[in-house]
Amino acid sequence: MAGPRMTVVAALQLAAGVPLSRILAFEDELRGVDLVVLPEAVLGGYPGRTPFVEYFHAAVPVPGPETAALAGLASRTGASLVAGVIERDGSTLYSTAVFLDPDLGLVGKHRKLVPTARERVFWGRGDGSTLPVIPTAAGLAGAAICWENHMPLLRAAMYAKGVQIWCAPTADDREVWQASMRHIADEGRCFVVSACPYESAGDDRFRGGSVIVGPTGDVLAGPLQDGEGLITAEIDLDELVAARKSLDVSGHYARPDVFALTVDERPRDGVTFLR
């Protein structure tokens, strides 16, 4: 009889908009970790703090030199990375989660579907073409960014894709965020890794609150507050099998005869050229 398949997941709590070198400095700490989640806008920064032209030029192309450097970090440490970046595509910015594989480099991205409040002045909206679930050493990983986690239909779509590691880069440092992360873990019967910024200076501060939650809502690590750092938890995917015996919201607990969800994953470009 096979024993448990244990892996290690982590959240790396840093400020939003740190220099790339600040992330790379954690190389030694990331060795031995299978999957690491970093906060929303860890590269590029949170909007409204600098003049827009400066903010625009701080955003990163995907793919680009910054994602190549993160891919190098993944390769050297053996850890898959899920990092929140401000992506620059043409003249539009997106809050994006990028997926970096130790062997394959940049393997996917998810653009935030609905920016919140002042974010809407700065960021465009993603479409259904960037809703990946990515194989990692820790399990199938998907991402929802900040308040996307409050979108029930997005959650239903990701559950149906079989997500095992729910990655939640965020800028929400409220106490109630912890309740949301525990609810998603319990509802989706998945492991949740949420990474939030920590910043102690300036008018727009973040208290942190990065957390790792098990598939029945139990907190496994964190919440980490009032400081930068790395939190880790050892997990066993067989716990998902046991947890989904009683609740599988896209399987035996679904009622397709009553409810239906259609997800349009076609890219929605502003201009289509027909030849």
Q: Which of 40, 66, 148, 228 is catalytic?
A: 40
Beta strands (DSSP E) in the chain are 6-13, 35-37, 80-89, 92-101, 105-111, 133-136, 139-143, 165-169, 191-195, 198-199, 206-213, 219-225, 229-236
Q: What is the pLDDT of residue 201?
A: 80
85-140 pLDDT per residue, tens: 999 999 999 999 999 999 999 999 999 999 999 999 999 999 999 999 999 999 99
200-232 pLDDT per residue, tens: 887 778 999 999 999 999 999 999 998 999 999
What is the CATH code for 6-246?
Answer: 3.60.110.10
- pLDDT bin (cut points 50, 70, 90) of residue 151 is very high
38-87 pLDDT per residue, tens: 999 999 999 999 999 999 999 999 999 999 999 999 999 999 999 999 99
**Catalytic: 40?**
yes
- pLDDT bin (cut points 50, 70, 90) of residue 2 is low
95 closest CA partner among 150, 137, 55, 51: 55
CA dihedral (236, 240, 245, 246) positive or negative: positive
Q: Which of 66, 109, 119, 146 is catalytic?
A: 146
**Catalytic: 167?**
no
Residue with tokens 């525990």: 182
- pLDDT bin (cut points 50, 70, 90) of residue 257 is very high
Q: What is the pLDDT of residue 238?
A: 96
Q: What is the pLDDT of residue 204?
A: 79
- pLDDT bin (cut points 50, 70, 90) of residue 272 is confident
- pLDDT above 70: residue 33: yes
Quick one: tokens of 229? 């750092």
161-191 pLDDT per residue, tens: 999 999 999 999 999 999 999 999 999 999 9
Q: What is the pLDDT of residue 226?
A: 84
Q: What is the pLDDT of residue 219?
A: 98
Give me the chain's average pLDDT, please: 96
Q: What is the pLDDT of residue 189?
A: 98
Q: What is the pLDDT of residue 269?
A: 87
**Catalytic: 109?**
no
3-16 pLDDT per residue, tens: 567 999 999 999 99
pTM of the full structure = 0.95
**From CA 98, how far away is CA 62, in angstroms rounded?**
8
59 closest CA partner among 39, 82, 88: 88
Q: Which of 66, 109, 112, 190 is catalytic?
A: 112
